[in-house]
């Protein structure tokens, strides 16, 4: 009896003394529910608004939770707008995000691997500078200086003018450095050197293979950053046929001030712009699962 009373007395607050399980934490759960609603409600509004006709969009039907019949019409009108320029913008965004994401991931992998696995003078200072770059809002701070620099070499209104400034990603380098330190044993690299492998061979055959999950994460994050980037292409580009979706939809929105029917097309275009990102996340999520399992086993 005394043992039972002592066990119940020592039970944690909010814990069921009979089965040893903790009860639900109401405050954290409420915060998570509010955060989820904050993220989901605007997305649901986009889905519902994209299904409304232009007449319904500016009426009380917009706030109805039911889907309207206008989604097919809106997609058809958006596809025919200005000779199908929306899909050209979509291809431009895919080009900027995929090429920029791949090249930025390669740069981040090489830099992160070098900082993690090599001893050289100034390594700590370089890494601290990279950490400082993570804290800066790069698109806001660097857009104008990048424009002035690239205008000197004739890359304004050029695809490279949007891709090149985004190759150096401080956060991607930081992630790759963390993954290289945690997933690549120094003993494995030493064994490769003893066998006569060059440093590039070790990086290509050993480092990149072991960092694969981290590289996928870096690519996804950089892809989303480039896909959603607005200020840099807005500053760099002047031709409509080079616009990404962000700048293209903004130009449609400005024209919508004089033509209200374009608001429906902008909302529909915003909904379609999310689809490639969702598809990319769903297709690459298995690499995240592998990474989580391997981290748990370690």
pLDDT in tens, 258-297: 666 788 888 899 999 999 999 998 888 777 655 544 543 3
Q: Could you tell me which of 11, 37, 226 has the C-alpha nearest to residue 139?
A: 226
pLDDT value of residue 297: 39
Are 47 and 64 spatial neighbours (Cβ–Cβ below 8 Å)? no
pLDDT at 5: 44
22: β partners: 15
Torsional sign, CA 109, 110, 113, 116 = negative
pLDDT of residue 1: 45
Question: Among 40-49, 101-110, 121-130, 194-203, where is mean pLDDT lowest?
Answer: 40-49
| Residue 2: per-residue pLDDT | 45
Residue range 186-212, pLDDT digits in tens: 999 999 999 898 999 999 999 999 998
pLDDT number for residue 263: 83
At residue 249, the pLDDT reads 92
pLDDT at 48 over 90: no
Q: What's residue 43's pLDDT? A: 84
User: Which residue would you say has higher pLDDT here, 54 or 223?
Assistant: 223
Task: Please tell me the predicted confidence (pLDDT) of residue 248.
Answer: 93
Percent of the chain with pLDDT over 70: 83
Q: What is the DSSP string of 51-100?
A: TS-HHHHTSGGGG-SS--S-HHHHHHHHHHGGGTHHHHHHHHHHHHHHHH
Q: How confident is the model at residue 72 (pLDDT cuts 50, 70, 90)?
A: confident
What pLDDT score does 25 carry?
80
pLDDT tens digits, residue range 8-31? 445 444 444 445 555 568 888 899
The pLDDT mean for the chain works out to 82
**Residue 169 CB burial class (10 angstroms; 0-12, 13-18, ≥19):** buried
Residue 177, judged by CB atoms within 10 A of its CB (0-12, 13-18, 19+), counts as: buried
Which pLDDT does position 295 carry in this prediction?
44
Q: For residue 254, what pLDDT is reported? A: 82
What number is the average pLDDT over the span 98-123?
A: 93
pLDDT at 113: 94
How many angstroms separate the CA atoms of 101 and 108, rounded?
A: 10
Rounded CA-CA distance 1/150 in Å is: 80
Q: Is the pLDDT of residue 159 over 90?
A: yes
Q: What per-residue confidence (pLDDT) applies to 4?
A: 47
Domain extent listing, the chain: 84-255
Please give the pLDDT value at position 215: 92
Total Cβ atoms within 10 A of residue 200: 10
* pLDDT attached to residue 285: 78
Whether CATH 1.10.3720.10 fits 84-255 = yes
Instruction: Specify the pLDDT at position 7.
Output: 45
| Element containing residue 277 per DSSP (H, E) | helix 262-297
Q: What is the pTM of this model?
A: 0.81
């Amino acid at each position: 009896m005394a043992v039972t009373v002592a066990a119940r007395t020592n039970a944690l607050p909010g814990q069921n003394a009979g089965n040893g399980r903790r009860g639900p934490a109401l405050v954290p759960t409420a915060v998570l529910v509010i955060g989820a609603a904050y993220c989901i409600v605007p997305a649901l509004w986009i889905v519902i608004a994209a299904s409304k006709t232009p007449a319904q969009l500016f009426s009380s039907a917009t706030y109805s939770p039911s889907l309207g019949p206008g989604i097919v019409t809106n997609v058809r009108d958006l596809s025919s707008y200005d000779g199908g320029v929306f899909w050209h913008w979509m291809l431009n965004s895919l080009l900027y995000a995929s090429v920029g994401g791949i090249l930025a991931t390669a740069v981040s992998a090489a830099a992160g691997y070098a900082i993690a696995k090599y001893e050289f003078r100034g390594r700590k200072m370089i890494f601290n500078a990279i950490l400082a770059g993570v804290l800066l809002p790069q698109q806001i701070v660097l857009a104008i200086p990048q424009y002035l620099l690239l205008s000197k070499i004739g890359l304004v209104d050029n695809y490279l003018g949007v891709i090149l400034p985004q190759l150096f990603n401080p956060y991607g380098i930081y992630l790759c450095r963390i993954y290289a330190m945690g997933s690549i044993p120094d003993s494995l690299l030493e064994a490769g050197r003893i066998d006569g492998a060059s440093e590039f061979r070790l990086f290509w055959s050993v480092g990149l293979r072991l960092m694969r999950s981290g590289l996928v994460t870096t690519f996804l994050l950089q892809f989303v950053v480039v896909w959603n980037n607005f200020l840099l292409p807005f500053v760099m580009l002047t031709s409509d046929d080079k616009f990404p979706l962000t700048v293209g939809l903004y130009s449609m929105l400005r024209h919508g001030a004089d033509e209200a029917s374009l608001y429906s097309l902008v909302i529909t275009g915003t909904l379609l712009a999310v689809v490639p990102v969702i598809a990319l996340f769903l297709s690459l999520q298995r690499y995240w699962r592998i990474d989580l399992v391997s981290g748990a086993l370690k």
